[in-house]
Structure 1
Amino acid sequence: MTNQLGGAVVAGVDGSDSALDAARWAAADAARRGTRLRLVAAVGWTTFRPTGLPALGQEYQRQVTTRAAEEHLEAAVEAARHVAPGCEIEREVRGGEAPVVLRAESERAALVVVGTRGRGGFTGLLLGSVAVAVAMHAACPAVVVRGTPAPDGPIVVGVDGDGENEAALGVAFEEAARRSVPLVAVHAWSEAVLDPFLLPLLDRSAVQAEQEKALEGRLAGWARKYPGVDIRGVVVVDGAARELVDRSAGAALVVVGSRGRGQVTGPLLGSVSQAVLHHAACPVAVVRPEAGSAA
């Protein structure tokens, strides 16, 4: 496990409304955990040829961008204090590109939080490049704040069929217990993996019952660990992404796993995780297999 369970909740700040939403969400989460909130503004230093006076060159740009980042942090602190007045808040301007800075922060964080799209994003994009990069590469659970969360709504979690998203289940159960809300566990099975010649003979109700029993077994250990959590299992045929997106309306948080490391270099997000990140109506937590619990 690479993240620090007693670490801060880290939020990326860039002066956008989306980042302020992330700071507010992170502040509320830090208050629930009883931990500190860390607000980080990343400034990517660039080199260029000054067109005016030498004094208005690289160092001047550095001062201006640093001052702007500090102002963004001040606005984020104010927004966070409105949500969690008693929360300990620290702030820092760090040099570097935002995905790189936040990846480094995630190594010692309990959670890293970003908005859907920063100041540099194109209008109309569903998800910004920083949000995608953080979701893919964070060493701890990452939350992309989007939509409108329902404070008393359930935690919705996707459950795969191969047992690789136990870390995501751990985060989902912990969030449900911390908030005292129900947990909705969604599992999808597919006819596409079956022999097409046998489909006419398939007893779908029997398969559905078998999948429901398997889901109950997957959740049994977590139910014993978190006896106070109200668990609601949902099994659907195909359409895991659609079911998770539909259930995100009225939810507090949707939790999905990632693929971990695939056949190409670097961590990957599966199609379900990508669809939920782009279309959910509430914040989405992405948990890599090695990220562990955000308890």
Structure 2
Amino acid sequence: MPEKMIIVGYDGSPDARAASRWAMDEAARTGAPVQLCCAYEWPTWSPAAATVPVPAPWPDPETERAIKGMLERAAAAARLSHPGVEVSTSVAHSGAVLTLIERSAHASLVVLGSRGHTAVGSLLGSVSVGVSAHAHCPVVVVRGASDPAAPVVVGVDDSNRTPPALAFAFTQAAARGTGLRAVHAWTPPGDGNPPTPRVSEAEQNRHLAAMVDAWRDAFPQVAVTSEVVTGDPAHALAHSSEAAQLVVLGTHGHGAWHGLLRGSVSQHLLHHSRCPVAVVHDLAHA
């Protein structure tokens, strides 16, 4: 079965170009085709006096040609730098968030820059937040640096089921030939904090180790370390991103990680991570 494509939200901005490079490197490792997608809505306008005739502002052939030319130049550069990767382009005349969410249902990965600036409006920035929250496949938001010698970091919740984030993180670490660091943040009971099911750091460490160990046999080549830290997950993972090439987050969790994607953790990471961030959805519980 052919590999599902990697979709890149592309608007020609420096961050979009960084996202394209990240996606091309990923495609070279996996064999997936890449599609550069520019989605935008043409602004509509009508005069205050409905009786005044005005020409329809859409379609605008000149803007359409400019966008297609931008995408083709980006695709040509990508084919030159990664000759083994199949690259295509696509223009969608609709909102970027809804377009990318819809197309994510048939993709293996959606890759976005952290922000964008174009004549037809910003594709990225707030789009990265919306797509990350509702996509049907993992979403990578490319920001900061990606040191190939650094490990992959995964945020682990304290539920009894293994989150899809662990599977994605192990797969990424194996493909990149690097280590994996599993981080779990918790707030000890007391001092006004609510009680937790696991009340000692030693128990937290044992639980984290058990979750990670469940994946070691499937990925024996990946060197794994795990760490329980005290504090809120947002700051713990932001700090961990300083020495990581990718930070992986799950969308569901309990305890300190509950509401990960809809709460402050993902928002904080998407704005403050020092490296790319992958948001992995648990579709079984979506």
TM-score of the aligned structures, taking structure 1 as reference length: 0.82
SS of 1:186's equivalent in the other structure is strand
Mapped contact 2:154–2:249 kept (Cα < 8 A): yes
- Distance in structure 1 (CA, Å) of the matches to 2:192 and 2:44: 60
Aligned to 2:219: 226
**Mapped pair 1:175 → 2:172:** yes
Give the letter for the 1:70 counterpart. K
- Distance in structure 1 (CA, Å) of the matches to 2:284 and 2:97: 17
Aligned to 2:204: 211
- Distance in structure 2 (CA, Å) of the matches to 1:189 and 1:129: 29
Q: Deviations over 1:73-113 (max 9, x none)?
A: 12321442354222110111111111111111100000000
The structure where helix makes up a greater share of residues is: 1
1:225-264 correspondence to structure 2 within 5 Å: 225-259=218-252
Aligned to 2:83: 85
Q: Deviations over 1:45-88 (max 9, x none)?
A: 343359xxx997424x5212211221221232144235422211
Q: Say which is worse superposed, 172-181 or 72-81, in terms of deviation.
A: 72-81
Identical columns (%): 42
**Mapped pair 1:283 → 2:283:** no
Give the letter for the 1:207 counterpart. S
Aligned to 1:98: 96
- Distance in structure 1 (CA, Å) of the matches to 2:227 and 2:44: 54
Give the letter for the 1:176 counterpart. A
Aligned to 1:9: 6
Mapped contact 2:187–2:193 kept (Cα < 8 A): no
- Distance in structure 2 (CA, Å) of the matches to 1:198 and 1:151: 40
Mapped contact 1:22–1:115 kept (Cα < 8 A): yes
- Distance in structure 2 (CA, Å) of the matches to 1:96 and 1:31: 30
Mapped contact 1:184–1:234 kept (Cα < 8 A): yes
Number of residues of Structure 1 aligned to a counterpart in Structure 2: 270
Equivalent of residue 36 in structure 1, options 33, 39, 42: 33
Aligned to 2:50: none
Q: Deviations over 1:119-166 (max 9, x none)?
A: 169xxxxx8111111111111000001001112211000001124661
Mapped contact 1:43–1:69 kept (Cα < 8 A): no
- Distance in structure 1 (CA, Å) of the matches to 2:149 and 2:64: 39
Give the letter for the 1:69 counterpart. I
Mapped contact 2:11–2:118 kept (Cα < 8 A): no
- Distance in structure 2 (CA, Å) of the matches to 1:197 and 1:69: 53
Aligned to 1:70: 68
Structure having greater relative contact order (Cα 8 Å, sep ≥ 6): 1
